[in-house]
Structure 1
Amino acid sequence: MCTPCCISQLACCCGSAACSCCCNCCPKIKQSTSTRIMYALYFLLVTVVCAVMMSPTVEQELKNKVPYYSDVCKKVGARENCGMLVGYSAVYKVCFGMACFFLFFFLLTLRLNNSLGWRAAVHNGFWLPKFILLVACCVGGFFIPGEGGYEQMFLKVWRYIGAVGGFIFLLIQLMLLVEFAHRWNTNWSSGVKYNRLWYAALALVTLVLFSVALGALVFMGLFYTHPEACLLNKALLGINGTLCFIISLLAISPCIQKLQPTSGLLQPGVISLYVMYLTFSAFSSKPKEFHMVAALNTTVCVFPFNSGNESDKKIVTIVGAIILVGCVLYSCLTSTTRRSSAALRVCRNSEPETERARCCFCFGDDTDEYDEEKSGGGQNVVYDEQEGTIYSYCYFHFVFFLGSLYVMMTVTNWFHYNNHEIEKLLDGSWSVFWIKMVSCWVCLALYLGTLVAPMICPKRFEA
């Protein structure tokens, strides 16, 4: 049992075979899914390395527990206490290497529409050489000469490239959220005519979404405002709450229902909840404010998590990091499907006559039949790309390229990176605050665009 599995894993690492688990009890996996998961694991590994590089806690632990830590750092040329391997400049160089890795594969897979050529074989296999290439790219950034100001020039230029790429990735992420809301409603609505329980599920989820969004609005009104201060917070809460209410009314208005019969309250519920999350995240990223309240100069407009309790701040930081990684991976893995790509081009891609209501609608329909291949007693692999590619290879790598820039800017707190620490991600900066707040309005504008676009350009949205 072990020998055939080891041979199959060797073929995966050094050949064009698809990767699979050695465990026989694992469900079958598609080759296209296996490939995207492997690239996502590479991406996640580098993201964790970047977070570690921005953590002085980890650096201190290494100093305390690794014998002759400083001497080893000097011998490998990483300066005293490995100062070259920590901080925002190290993250910039590592993310530069990861971005170059995905940009290389983007160029390699341009105009690739089948999985039979050597380029497709490189994309779907040879994971060990690709891992070595990724490590070499990330390490290569540290060999940029520091003399003559080349390193500072590189960091300055790469910062602005990262800001542009990160903003584009953020737009893709918001567009995918809008597409996700529409797809969720369309999929579950298709099951109503066969089983009325789907209607009950739609109503229940919609009620929960709006309840949580309204609760979040009240929560922020209580903890992020003050009767004598926090005018900006009050105004933004009022604006975002009003906009969410307006798009909810528009979604069920007769003029919208006439052109989009499946439009309902589920989509604005998803959008409203995400807007409330972004608003909360923006308020958490806002610098602390000091006002005279009751003749005392005190901190206001901040939640108790931000008031100095380190254990609470660590919990919020961990939760925020999990949400960040989840959003990035979801955007990278789903934006290259045919349905999502069509949504990003703003055209109709739903197929109501073939839509089948499912709880796990995000991960595609597993009813399609493809050839299976036994993996030496391990997990079965479904080769689903024999007749053509399921997703765009080059666009897949381009999204990961943008995701690399987005992670770089997020981990280094965008433009306020000097002396920034990953543990102090919630201490706040105005750049992060306004980026998240503008994201709220962009998300609302994108959803509003999907509602009114069929009225403006009806031919583009004809089935």
Structure 2
Amino acid sequence: MCTPCCISQLACCCGSAACSLCCSCCPKIKQSTGTRFMYALYFLLVTIICVVMMSPTVEKEIRDNIPFYTELCDKLNAGENCSNLVGYSAVYKVCFGMACFFFLFAIFTFRVHSSTGCRAAVHNGFWFIKFIVLLGCCAGGFFLPNQETFLEVWRYMGAAGGSVFLLIQLMLLVEFAHRWNKNWSSGIKYNRMWHAALGIVTLVLFSIAVGALVFMSVYYTHPEACTLNKIFLGVNGSLCLIVSLLAISPFIQRLQPNSGLLQPGVISVYVMYLTFSALSSKPTEMVERDGANVTVCVFPLNSGSESDNKIVTGVGTVILFGCMLYSCLTSTTRRSSAALRVCRTTMPENERARCCFCCPADDGDDNDDEEQKGGGQNVTYDERDGTIYSYAYFHFIFFLGSLYVMMTATNWFHYDNAKIERLLAGSWSVFWLKMVSCWVCLLLYMWTLVAPMVCPKRFEA
């Protein structure tokens, strides 16, 4: 029973066969989906290594619990207590290797349109060999000459690439909001329950947005300080109200009948999250009270205790991983690629409404694809007639994601004192980055509403 499964997994690691799970009870998986998740697993693995490298807590636990730790560091020439393997410079070097890995594959798979060629076979298989290559690239960063010059140049390249990746995240969020509304709206004419679902979800989203705005107005403002907080809360709240009214205005409804309140609800919640994150990342302010300096405009549960810091860091890290993986995996689908080009997506008019709309049954053509059956999970070869997604673009998105991981883990330009435990610690660069992201997100959504009026030919069916 296990022999066919073991053989298929060995072929997956060392050959061009598609990867699958050994459990036959698992639902069948498409070759294109399995390949993307394998690359995402590599990406997530290196990201976790970067998080460990930026954590003094983990470093201390390793040093205290691994026998002969000092001797091992000496043999590896990693400095005293492996100081060369931790900190922002180590993260820069590891992410440099991961970025090189994906960038080389982006060049290698450029203009691959068939899954039957040798380049496509390398992309979809040989996972163990590629894992060794990835490790070699990450380790190679520690042997680069002129380390100081490299770190200085690579820092600015990382900032540029990370900013582009953040912009793609925001564009995909806007596309996600439109797609959600259109999918559920398509089910209204068949079942009125979808109308109720739209109304309930929209009400919940706006309740969360308004509640977050009130929460921040109470805890992140002060009569004698925090002027910037008051200004930005007013500006962001007003912009959310403007885009909501614009989405249901008559002239927008004539051009886009599917425009409703669900999209601005999604955008408003995300903008409030970014606003909260920005205000939490701003350096603290103090006022004099009874002859003593008192910190104001901080998170009410942020007592500075170790448990609070772990909770905040854990939530921030989970959100970071989720946003990166969603952006990397979805930006290469046909629908998302159309959204990134700011044109009408190819969503069919008779699309079936579903709760899990973001994971459609088919991203490509609706045809019967050949299946591989073995001792484990069945694999559907859905790229027999051509590639479902752009291989080169897929790797380029992961290249940008590598730069975003590097900059986020090292607190962007405040890398000297960066620690993963202080992922949401205050710094002006992070504050302005997140605040500008709020405005870019709102402007992108407003553009999707007015673009059919400005460029009607581009949005013709």
Aligned match for 1:378, one of 362, 376, 379: 376
> Quick check: 2:32–2:383 contact (8 Å CA) kept in 1?
yes
SS at match of 1:292: strand
> Quick check: 2:372–2:380 contact (8 Å CA) kept in 1?
no
SS at match of 2:259: coil
> Quick check: 2:186–2:350 contact (8 Å CA) kept in 1?
no
Q: After superposition, where does 1:70-85 map in structure 2 within 5 Å?
A: 70-85=70-85
Mind listing any 5+ residue stretches in structure 1 that lack a counterpart? none
Deviation at 1:201, TM superposition (A): 0.6
Amino acid at match of 1:323: I
Alpha-carbon separation, structure 1, partners of 2:19 and 2:130: 14
TM-score by length of 2: 0.98
> Quick check: 1:228–1:293 contact (8 Å CA) kept in 2?
no
Alpha-carbon separation, structure 2, partners of 1:195 and 1:397: 41
> Quick check: 1:306–1:427 contact (8 Å CA) kept in 2?
no
Amino acid at match of 1:256: I
The match for 1:174 is 170
The match for 2:34 is 34
> Quick check: 1:313–1:426 contact (8 Å CA) kept in 2?
no
The match for 1:300 is 296
Aligned match for 1:288, one of 284, 289, 297: 284
SS at match of 1:290: strand
Alpha-carbon separation, structure 2, partners of 1:444 and 1:302: 26
Deviation at 1:371, TM superposition (A): 2.8
The match for 2:235 is 239
The match for 1:117 is 117
> Quick check: 2:316–2:423 contact (8 Å CA) kept in 1?
no
The match for 2:444 is 446
Deviation at 1:310, TM superposition (A): 1.9
- Aligned residues: percent identity? 74
Aligned match for 2:258, one of 262, 268, 275: 262
Q: After superposition, where does 1:386-401 map in structure 2 within 5 Å?
A: 386-401=384-399
Aligned match for 1:417, one of 415, 418, 422: 415
Alpha-carbon separation, structure 2, partners of 1:9 and 1:373: 16
Instruction: Give the ranges of 4+ consecutive aligned residues of structure 1 lying more than 6 Å apart after TM superposition.
Output: none
The match for 2:345 is 349
Amino acid at match of 1:239: V
CA-to-partner distance for each residue in 1:50-84, whole Å, 9 max, x for gaps? 00000111111111111221111011110110011
Alpha-carbon separation, structure 2, partners of 1:191 and 1:294: 62
Deviation at 1:297, TM superposition (A): 1.2
> Quick check: 1:370–1:382 contact (8 Å CA) kept in 2?
no
Deviation at 1:372, TM superposition (A): 4.0
Deviation at 1:251, TM superposition (A): 0.1
SS at match of 2:352: coil
Alpha-carbon separation, structure 1, partners of 2:291 and 2:173: 46
The match for 2:355 is 359
CA-to-partner distance for each residue in 1:237-267, whole Å, 9 max, x for gaps? 0000000000000000000000000000000
Deviation at 1:230, TM superposition (A): 1.2
Alpha-carbon separation, structure 2, partners of 1:104 and 1:351: 33
Amino acid at match of 2:254: K
Alpha-carbon separation, structure 1, partners of 2:24 and 2:366: 21
CA-to-partner distance for each residue in 1:212-259, whole Å, 9 max, x for gaps? 011111111111111221111111100000000000000000000000
> Quick check: 1:306–1:426 contact (8 Å CA) kept in 2?
no
> Quick check: 1:20–1:375 contact (8 Å CA) kept in 2?
no
The match for 1:156 is 152
Alpha-carbon separation, structure 2, partners of 1:330 and 1:426: 21
The match for 2:20 is 20
The match for 1:101 is 101
> Quick check: 2:3–2:375 contact (8 Å CA) kept in 1?
no
Amino acid at match of 2:154: W
Amino acid at match of 2:404: Y
SS at match of 1:137: helix
- Number of residues of Structure 1 aligned to a counterpart in Structure 2: 459
Deviation at 1:158, TM superposition (A): 0.1
Aligned match for 1:186, one of 182, 186, 202: 182
Alpha-carbon separation, structure 1, partners of 2:346 and 2:21: 34
> Quick check: 2:316–2:424 contact (8 Å CA) kept in 1?
no
Alpha-carbon separation, structure 1, partners of 2:152 and 2:8: 45
The match for 2:64 is 64
> Quick check: 1:166–1:409 contact (8 Å CA) kept in 2?
yes
SS at match of 1:388: coil
Alpha-carbon separation, structure 1, partners of 2:291 and 2:346: 61
> Quick check: 1:414–1:431 contact (8 Å CA) kept in 2?
yes
